[in-house]
Amino acid sequence: MQITLPSRAEIHAAYLQGEEAVVALFGTLGQQVEALAVVLSQQGEAIQELQGRLSKDSRTSSTPPSSDGYKKAQRKPRTESLRPRGEKPNGGQPGHEGHRLEFSEHPDHSETHEVATCPHCQLSLRAVAVVGCEERQVFDIPAIRIEVTAHRAEIKVCPRCGQESKGRFPAEVTQATQYGRGVKTWASYLTHQHFIPLERTAQIFEDLLDHRISEATVLKAGQALDREIAPSIEAVKAQLKSSEVMHLDESGLRVVGKLHWLHVASTDRLTHYEVQGKRGQEGMEAIGLLPDFQGRAVHDHWKPYFHYDCAHALCNAHHLRELRYLEKQYQQPWAASMAKLLCDMKKAVDETKAVADHLPASQVEAFEQAYDHLLAEGFAAHPEPPPSPAGAPKKRGPPKRPPPLNMLIRLRDFKAQVLAFMVDFRVPFDNNQAERDIRMVKVQQKVSGCFRTLEGAQRFGRIRGYISTARKNAKNVFEALQDALDGTPFIPSSEAP
């Protein structure tokens, strides 16, 4: 918008016409200035919003480091810890026990190196008694090869009735030639625990075992494992439904070239993954955990979670990153103070857990008063916009608010969920459990790009959930896979240790 300035002739004409003409001329000019100020204010807000979007990265939001881009990665570290400097120095911490390769009391092999002659006078020492021995041990991996076991079923003809009879093969031996449990376990372990693609898994077999298997064999091993772990998956889902606290998160996953969603529900002992075409309530209903859950769900404020009647707790790691963003991008002093207050609450909870199961009521009240005071300070700087005047055209959706005001409203309206960790020590400060659980499955996408079929993606999620649950319960992953292929999958105890 441009301001149309009056010419000298127009100004002189107004002067000759008298005071009223001059006032009218400057009134028109003032209206143009006011309209221009409104336009510039709107443009300024739009520019600030765009600058805010550009300044968001993995340090100030929930975006992954991979989205920071090459220039940001060159300009500054890809990630930045929220822990203050000097709180935990580098290197081994006090009380940490070192580790080294210890002597084995029962070595598999031993070699004796005799002393034939004296190195000083060259006298033969073969007949001299041994007075001592110095031992050194070498830990190594023997050569591994595929073993072939020939099962031969005898055939005999009965001398009485003349009928032919044949011995029975073991139940697991069903084909003329087939791979055994060990090959299937190796294939599943490499592809699902270490995210090695099918072709490279076949190459590893050839390099290490001198026997190349087909990619179809690797796929069939995963399918067989998926069938056998079904009882474990159902047991994990049942235990998650009855847990006191359950962590929830979701992340995009490429399946057949389209965006799908990987949902995770977990505790410190259990993990369950589901791949669904929908992210919101429709996908959650298909999973079938939240409709029956009566405990407390910890998540990152994704709105569909609030459709369920269970108690909720919000991830404060997300809040700390967003508060840092508001402090740096919008120069909000209250945001820095709120971040410090949340960290002080966490420190108080961590120190109290060692001696009690709750904070003193006076300390809780003091923290809540400080929390409310900071919210009031923030709202004083960013009051909520007035309602639209009567008769004004209605716009779809909630009124647009700046990011600082959105954050203030969330912290105010969901205060109980933000501070749940302070009043209930079973609730963690953040949702890092679910984020750690979902991170490893995302590695698979980085390695292979996407899943070729939805069935394959869902099968991968179930097997990864089984592996994660086994690890959380201190079960050796390779043994857990082996047991499953034997028909006895690992099922976690329903009683917490």
Q: Are 163 and 157 in contact (CB under 8 A)?
A: yes
C-alpha 238/C-alpha 494 separation (Å) is: 9
Give the pLDDT score at 373: 97
Residue 9, pLDDT > 90, answer no
Give the pLDDT score at 13: 82
Query: Which one has a higher pLDDT value, 219 or 45?
Result: 219
Place of tokens 């369920």: 308
Average pLDDT, integer, range 27-48: 72
Residue 80, pLDDT > 60, answer no
Task: Report pLDDT digits (tens) over 205-252.
Answer: 999 999 999 999 999 999 999 999 999 999 999 999 999 999 999 999
Place of tokens 């490429």: 254
Using a CB cutoff of 8 Å and minimum separation of 24, what contacts does 2-6 make?
Answer: 3/29, 3/32, 3/33, 3/36, 4/32, 5/29
Average pLDDT, integer, range 448-452: 85
Give the pair of three-digit tokens for residue 210. Answer: 């001198």
Share of the chain above pLDDT 90, in %: 67
> What's the pTM?
0.78
Type of residue at 313: A
| Mean pLDDT lowest among 36-50, 119-133, 452-466 | 36-50
Give the pLDDT score at 77: 46
Output phi, psi for 135, to 5 deg: -115, 135
Give the pLDDT score at 64: 57
pLDDT band at 411 (very low <50, low <70, confident <90, very high): very high
pLDDT band at 479 (very low <50, low <70, confident <90, very high): very high
**Please, what is the angle between helix 361-381 and helix 403-413, to 10°?**
150
pLDDT band at 73 (very low <50, low <70, confident <90, very high): very low
Kindly write down the DSSP assignment for every residue of 223-276, as one continuous string. Answer: HHHHHHTHHHHHHHHHHHHT-SEEEEEEEEEEETTEEEEEEEEE-SS-EEEEEE
